[in-house]
Each structure stands twice: as structure tokens, then as C-alpha cells.
Chains A and B, each alone.
Chain A
Amino acid sequence: MQEQSQIKLELKNITKTFGSLVAVDDLSLMVKKGEVHGLLGENGAGKSTLMNVLYGLLAADSGKILIDGQEVQITSPADAISHGIGMVHQHFMLVPTISVLENVLLMLSNEDKSFFPKANQVRQRILEFSEIFSLDVDPNALVRDLSLGQQQCVEIIKAVYNDSDILILDEPTAVLNPNEAAELFIIVERLRDMGKSVIFISHKLQELMDICDRITVLRDGKIIDTVAIEETTAQELSYLMIGKRLNIQLQRNNEPEGDVVLQIGDLLAKSSGGSTAVDHLNLEVRSGEIYGIAGVDGNGQSELIMAISSLSEYESGSIAIDCNQLELMCSPKDVLDCNVAHIPEDRQRIGTAMGMTVGENLVLHNIDNLEFRNHRLLDWKKINSYAEKIVEKYDIRTPGVEAPLSSLSGGNQQKLLVARELEKKPKLLLAMHPTRGVDIGAIDFIHKQIIAARNEGCAVLLISTDLEEILALSDRIGVMYKGKIKGEVSRDKVKMKDIAMWMVGKDSDAEQIKAG
């Protein structure tokens, strides 16, 4: 027990600023040997920045790093590795077209300068690790053929390959499904049993409660508290994290449902791979109603949204928005002209232009607005003051409206996207995973905004794999399974059991009885 409480890693008074934004503010942290230490905080709280400093990807403005009581200088990832620090990044750092073995060799190429790498030795080592962690990793398999969970395993092998004693996992479960996450937890526990220190970064409360020994809560670049897991509750942690109690009860006007805004009839759409993704689907969304589509990812949700927004072609069927029948080959602009707002599932790839400024991103839809003109030219002063208003209204944390969007944290990028779409005062809102990868504070905020739009008469089609989100927001819930709406139920008649059955493609009990 005495050995366990030994301090392995100590960060002292670390400060890191980006321009006028203080990302990490005079922060000190201690990690013990053989513990899993959770870092909890909203997006932009400074978790990733702190870990990038520790791993040598960013240089701190001031502060010290001590390992085993010795002060060390870490200016590059190579330094970090030589001090026994391994990191698994939020986004995988793997080359998909080559094998697992080659990926590990690639990492080793810094030390092993020989022309012919010692492949057999390394392969042996990978197999050893696979055995220790009971992983299922074939060193010769191509990375692109592996599931995300397996890729995560490869990342972990890379991180522990050099016998690192400190392992940083940056949002390791963000891309994993629940089963894969459970397997990851087993590996993390095994690492702890081996006496390694694991720093586990996440904004998901529950998983930190499950796996960690101690949790440090960060807010605005400062440490709020470090608590041992036995001495705390989820409620307390979430309070520490966002600084206020969660507002779970959302204000909802129960106004009568209005006209049908979105009507989909017999829609057939194929995935990019050519298989049927949306299979003769029928759907209606009314004004002032949130229709939530639940279901396991990959059951045609993406294709449904792409078809409605006309971003990809569909085979047959009819789509009508606000009584305008859309043609089969209409352009995305025709759809937007029906006053449709769209929060796409991938904010970085589709939703925004990361290289442009905050202000430029906010006027994506209304650049032609005459308010922004001075004689016939764009007046950036007017645009920027408009952007500043939005930034304030939606509480988007940014160094300024002229800062590039890429300098904002993920949660704030998402807020900006939501703000831009809702400012259109749309008749129909298509929202796909509107809060994916966003912290609790921002989730709460985005939910409120969606509800507010609904109360003003907007029809909302909400697609999410987060069942809690669907249940919290929707007036009607449909479960999508293999391209069809498997079952549909209104808010007051929801039974969790039915939804769970529909999600795996079975009929609910009630229907079975009827059929029998």
C-alpha cells in the first residue's frame, strides 16, 4: 500500500496561453504510481492542452514537470517517450494502408536507425503484449481492416511498447461502441495492476466513475478539485465541472401540433457503397414538434439526412418540405430555399470551414444580406459586429470574431454551428448528433436552443444515437432499424423496453401479442 501512494508524476504551476486566451492557468497536478487518474472537464477546459504540454507537443509558458521527483525537460514527444510517457491521442495516429507491425516499426524508426528493421523481434513483442492484455491483434493485418476498437488496441501497444510508466489516454472512448469501451476498461485495469500510472481524459462522467481511482476536475484552465472516487458522486462531479446544477427539466410549451412540414414517402436511398440504406421509409414531422430518431449508428440515419438535404442522390420516393414537393434531382440550394436549417453530423468536415474566421463562418448562409453591405461591397465592420452579437448571445468562447475557427474548442465550434443554423429562424431543422463530442454545459445549452426553436413553431427532425438526448427532447420518437422506422411512439407513451426491442430489430411485446 505504501508503494502505491508514491508520487510518480508531478506538474507544477503550468501555464499556457494562446494569444489572449489562457488555456491552462497556473495548474499543478500529482499522479500516483499505479493509479488511474481521471481528468474531467468541458471542452476547452484545458485537458488536452495540459496533456499536450506533458507529451511535448506544446511548450508551456511557465511551469515544471517532475517525474519520480526529478525535474525533466520535455520539449518534444521523443523526450516524453524517453522519460517513459506514452500517449494515445483522441484521433488515431495510425497509417491505415500498412500493417500493424509496420505501424509499430514506424514509431520505432526514431531509435532503430538500421536499414532493415528487426521485424521479427517486434512482431514477437506485439504478440507478447496481445497476450498480456488478451487482445486480439494480428501484427500482419492492415490497419484499415481493423475495427476502431482494435485500432485503439494498436495505439495502446504503441504507447506501452517502450515500457512507459505513464500512459495518457485522450478521450479514448469517443469513437468506441459500448462493448469496445468495456474491453478498453479491462486493459486499463490491467495496466494499473502492472503498476503503471494512467491519465484518463474524458468528459463522460460515468465512465470516469467506473474506471478511475481519483478524478481531477478542470474548468477554464484551472483545477477545481481532485477527489477520490469513493468520496464523491456523479452529481457532485458534474456540479464541479460546469459550476452549476444541470437544468434537466426543459421548458416546453405544450402548444397543439401544427401543419405537416416535412413529409417523406416511400424513400429509397443507397449508401455510398451501393447497399440499400434507407428502405422505403415513411415519415412526417409537424410544425412545433421534435421528431427524434433513435437507433444504432449505421442503420441509414446518415443517408436519410443526406437525402432530405439533397447532398446525395436518392433512388426513389418523395420528399416534401413545407408543402413544396422536391424533385428527385434538386440541388442542396433548392432545399435550403424552403427555409431548412441543417446541423450536419460532422462539423469539421461538412459543417464549417475551419480555416476561415469565426465571423466568416457565421455568415455562411446570409452573406447576401443587404445589412452587410456598404454601397455594393461587403462591410466587414458590420459583419463582425453581427458576429459579435451572435457570439455573445450563444456564449461562444473565442479569442475574437476574427480568430480562425480552428482555434476554438470542439464544443464551441459546435455552438457556433448551432447558432448559425438557428439564426436562420428555420421552418425545419435537421439536427444530426447535435451534441456529439460536446461537454455537458454546452449540451444543456444546445438542447435549450433546440427546444426554443420548437416552441417558436419550428419542425425538428432530431437524429441521435444518444438515447437520453432523444428522450429528453422529442415529442415523438421513432426507432430506425435497417433503413426503416421500426417503431414509433409519442412522448407520453414511451416504454424503454419497446425502444430497446426496436433498436435490435424485434417487434415490441404489445405487437407480438396482437400478432399472436
Chain B
Amino acid sequence: MLIELTGESALDTYKVLFEGAFIGKNNLSETLIKSSILLLTGLSYAFVAKVGLINIGAEGQLYIGAACSAAVGIYGTFLPGALHLIAALLAGFVGGMIWGGIVGFFKERFGANEIITSLMMNYIAILVVSYLVHEPMKDMSQTYPYSYRVATSAQLPRILTGTRLHAGLFVALLCLFFYWIYYRYTSSGYRMRVIGQNRLNAEYAGYNVRKNMFAAMAIGGGFAGLGGALEILGVQFRLFDNFSSGYGFDGIFAAILANLHPLGMILTSVVFGGLRNGGLMIQVKTNVSSTLTSVVQSLVIILVLMRIFDRLPIWGKKHSNQSLRKRSSD
């Protein structure tokens, strides 16, 4: 309807959106590149959500992770071959870990509300990166505030010729696999789930709730930091202001929409990645602004938060039954 208001055909626009996102080797690759970052920022939210905390700091963790991996990518040239790439990726993870860990530390030590602190840390991270690219890491040959280029030995290898699709996709999937195994098949993952379900129960069972929360925040932050590393080492190769355009927040939505389920998160990340990529395409090919995709995304989120989907026959069945059962138990 919104599209019709701008005078374009809605169906055609959606066609462009879909084709721009998924049809053709190049378009699909671009979508997958974006999806893998969304998957990682989504994991950052999901990993923390399992212990009952809410991490909306993925954006900041992504920025710091990007900065750290860029630093290693640019200045760590003394490292041989593949080791350089691995070190750069690790730096991204560690950077995000530190940023998430700070939030976790405040939570553990002072009980500070993690929603507020993680949100605030976003702004700090963005400004830190801004400082880095204006001052210490600035490439003097450039007019704009860009950092130096990441050395080729630290760049993620392309996995499909003729496109920009890079090995970061596997990194993201590996992390997802770890997330699934960790929470389903390890005892420390089980502990974290107990903490998320009932903190008092976990304390009663002698689990160290605070330490686990701190660890979850740090690991979650690490995932988002890795997402930042992917963007720098796989696509941009340089650090610059505002490179992320909201990956951190879209990842949260992807995770919520998938109800933190691993396979669901693949699906939602690809859909959101597609919306991002296709959105650019409709901007090029039609008169509709790419912000439209943000509108679509936001509508989906609002519907999810309103629990509309719970009322649909297939999707909602499990949930509604559970809520009824709760009532019936006396």
C-alpha cells in the first residue's frame, strides 16, 4: 500500500526486491554476505538471551570487533600466511568479547541493568571507531577518513569466483553450530539455560550465576565482534565511519523472529539479508526508496512482538497449548 502511494506498482516492486535479493549468482552472494553478519550479531543476542539477559549492544561489539581485526589486519603483517587471517579474525572476536565483557562485568559486580549499559556502549564504540579512523589509523593518502587497507594475507578468501562471497559464511555457520551444540549438548550450556529459566533455581542448585552471566555476555559480544571482522576482512578491507548501518540491531530482530532457534536463525538471517540487498536494488530500479525495506522489517518485528504469529494455526500451536497448560495446572 505504501508503495502504491509513491506511484509504483507494488507487485513489480516486490518482484524487483526478490530478484535483487535471490536471483542470480551475484545477487545471491551479496545477500549471503550480509546474512552471515546478521547471523553473527543475531547469535550475539541469542547466546546472551539464553541466560536471561538482553544484549542490545551487538552494534557496538561489532564496531570494536571490526576495529580490532582491522588493526591486526593492517599492522600484523609480520605474521605468516593463514596465521595472519586467523589472528585478525580472533582479534575481532576478542574485541567484541571485551566490549560485551564490560557490560557483563558491570552486571556481575554492580548489578547494572544490561539493557541500558549495552545500549550506551554502542555509542561509545561508534565514537571510538570514528576517532580511530580520523586520527591514529587514518590513511593519509585518502581525503576521507579511511583507515589503511587490510593486508591481502588477512583478507578472507573468495569462495565463488566473480562475486564477493567470502569464507566468512563458513565462520558464521561454524559459530551457529557451536551455539547449537553448546546449549543442547554441554553441561555448562545446560547450566546457562537453567539460569535463564529461573535464576533462583540456579542459585539454589549452587550454580555461579554471576560468573555465568559474565561469560555469556563476553562470548555473545565475541560473536558480534566476529561479525565486524567479517565485514572488514571480507568486504570493506578498510575501517571507516558508520560502516555497519545497523547490522547489530537487525541481527537482534532476526534472532527474536527465529525464537532463538538455530535453524530458524539461518532462515531469518537470509530473509533479512535479502531485504537489505534487495532494498538497494529497488532504489536503483524503481522510484521507491530503499528505506521501504526498513518499514517492511519493522512491521514484521512489531507483528512478532504482538505475538500475532502465535495465533496462526501452524506456527502458534505449540505456544498456545503451553499457555493453556500453565493455567490448568493447579
A residues at B contact (CB < 8 Å): 16, 18-19, 23, 43-44, 47-49, 52, 57-58, 90, 170-171, 309, 311, 331-333, 335-337, 342, 344, 349-356, 360, 363-365, 367-368, 376-378, 380, 404, 406-410, 413
Total chain B interface residues with beta-carbon distance under 8 A: 29
**Contacts A90-B330, A354-B198, A410-B329: A378 and B186 contacting too (C-beta < 8 A)?**
yes
CA distance A171 to B330 in the complex (A): 10
Interface residues of B in 167-196 (CB under 8 A from A): 181, 184-187, 190-191, 193-194
Contacts of A336 in B (CB 8 A): 205-206
**Among B1-9, B267-275, B318-326, the stretch in contact with A:** B318-326
Check: B200 CB closer than 8 A to any chain A CB. yes
Q: Are A410 and B322 in contact (CB under 8 A)?
A: no
B245 on the A face (CB < 8 A): no
How distant is the Cα of A408 from the Cα of B181 in the complex, in angstroms? Answer: 28
Across-interface contacts of B198 in A (CB, < 8 A): 349-350, 352-355
B181 to chain A: which residues have CB within 8 Å? Answer: 377
Question: How many angstroms from the CA of A153 to the CA of B186 in the assembled complex?
Answer: 50
> What residue of chain A has the Cβ atom nearest to residue B193's Cβ?
A356
User: A49, B203: Cβ atoms under 8 Å?
Assistant: no
Contact yes or no, A332 B206, CB < 8 A: yes
A-facing mask of B42-62, CB < 8 A → 1, else 0?
Answer: 000000000000000000000
Shortest beta-carbon distance from B326 to chain A in Å:
5
Chain B positions 301-330 with a Cβ under 8 Å from a chain A Cβ: 321-322, 324-330
Q: Does B197 contact A (CB under 8 A)?
A: yes
9 shortest A-B CB distances, which residue pairs? A333-B206, A48-B330, A353-B197, A377-B185, A353-B198, A407-B325, A336-B206, A367-B187, A355-B197
A14 CA to B206 CA in the complex, in Å?
45
A377-B186, A378-B185 known; A342+B328 contact, CB < 8 A:
no
Q: In whole Å, how far is A266's beta carbon from the nearest beta carbon of chain B?
A: 26
Name the contact of A409 in the complex, choosing from B190, B193, B329 (C-beta under 8 A).
B329
Q: Is the CB of B186 within 8 A of A351?
A: no
| Smallest CB separation, A463 vs chain B (Å) | 16
Instruction: Count chain B CB atoms within 10 A of each CB in A18, A19, A171, A363 and give the residue with the most.
Output: A18
Contacts A23-B328, A58-B324, A332-B206 given; does A350 touch B201 at CB 8 Å: yes
Name the A residues within 8 Å of B78 (CB-CB). Answer: none
A337 to B206, CA, bound (A): 9
Q: How far is the CB of B85 from chain A (nearest CB, A)?
A: 29
In the bound complex, CA of A351 to CA of B194 (Å): 11
- Give bound CA distance, A409 to B201, whole Å: 19
Pair A58/B203 contact, Cβ less than 8 Å: no
A309 to B184, CA, bound (A): 30
Contact in complex: B201, A352 (CB < 8 Å): yes
B187 x A368 contact (CB < 8 A) = yes
- Residue pair A48, B328 in contact (C-beta under 8 Å): yes
Give me 17 other A-B pairs in contact (C-beta within 8 A), A356-B197, A367-B191, A378-B184 excluded: A48-B328, A57-B327, A58-B324, A311-B204, A333-B207, A350-B198, A350-B200, A351-B204, A353-B194, A353-B201, A354-B197, A354-B198, A360-B193, A360-B194, A368-B187, A410-B329, A413-B329
Q: Which of A336, A349, A407, A408 has the most CB of B within 10 A?
A: A407
A49 and B328 in contact, given A331-B206, A331-B208, A336-B206 (Cβ under 8 angstroms) = yes
| A43 and B330 contact, CB distance less than 8 A | yes
CB distance from B196 to the nearest CB of A (A): 9
Q: Taking each of A44, A331, A363, A378, which has the highest tally of chain B beta carbons within 10 Å of its own beta carbon?
A: A378
Residues of B contacting A354 in the complex (Cβ-Cβ under 8 angstroms)? 197-198
Contact pick for A406, options B185, B200, B205, B326, CB 8 Å: B326
Query: In whole angstroms, what is the CA distance A335 to B206 when docked?
Result: 8
Complex Cα distance, B203 from A58, in Å, reads: 35
* CB pairs A–B below 8 angstroms (30 shown): A16-B328, A18-B325, A19-B321, A47-B330, A48-B329, A170-B330, A333-B206, A333-B208, A349-B200, A350-B201, A351-B204, A352-B201, A353-B202, A354-B198, A360-B190, A360-B194, A363-B190, A364-B201, A367-B187, A367-B190, A376-B186, A377-B186, A378-B184, A378-B187, A378-B190, A404-B325, A407-B322, A407-B325, A409-B330, A413-B329
